[in-house]
Amino acid sequence: MKDFIGIISLFIFIALVGSVGKLDIEFTQSCEGYLKRAADANTVSIAKEELGKALKYLKDNDLTHGSTHILYKTPSSDLGFLYKNLTASYKVLDKASKNESLSNLEESNILIKLRESLLDRGSDGDHVSLPKFISLFPYQDRFFIWFLFGLPGLLWLFLFTMPKKKVKHRKW
């Protein structure tokens, strides 16, 4: 019975890690990557196109409101602010792309402002400014519960089901 509980817990934990990884990769490919490309764009039209793809993903996956935290809400976890801010940036890009008399300096200023809105500077370089665990939203509570059941079972597996080595004591 102990082995059965341990093996089930191991499968739960492996499924958890695999699911989180899959969702993170999917989010990176479908949204975060486009936000990074919009921040790195050299023209307003390219930035608008890339930001539009990210906004479409956010809207299609209902990432326009709510909080990515489970127990409490903080400004850094607010999806509504993120979506409003990105939508406002898109409107600025859309307006600028229609303006034929836009100078290089004005276009450069718009792109710099967009870059500053999208990216944060960390010790390991620039990264897209997003709420933590956004790739798990709206299922972050389920993943937390899954983790709470999987981790103790995994510990059970290693502590109680692994064969123990017998240590020979020397007589002096």
Consecutive sets of 10 residues in the chain, 172 residues long: mean pLDDT of each?
69 84 94 96 96 97 90 88 96 94 93 95 88 88 78 68 62 64
In a domain, residue 70? The reply is no
**Count of structural domains within the chain:** 1
Residue 117: domain span: 2-65+75-161
In a domain, residue 84? The reply is yes
In a domain, residue 166? The reply is no
Residue 8's pLDDT is 74
Judge contact between 41 and 47, C-beta under 8 A. yes
In a domain, residue 56? The reply is yes
Judge contact between 128 and 39, C-beta under 8 A. yes
In a domain, residue 94? The reply is yes
Instruction: Output the pTM of the full model.
Output: 0.81
In a domain, residue 88? The reply is yes
Residues 6+ apart with CB under 8 A from 134: 27, 63, 68, 79
In a domain, residue 172? The reply is no
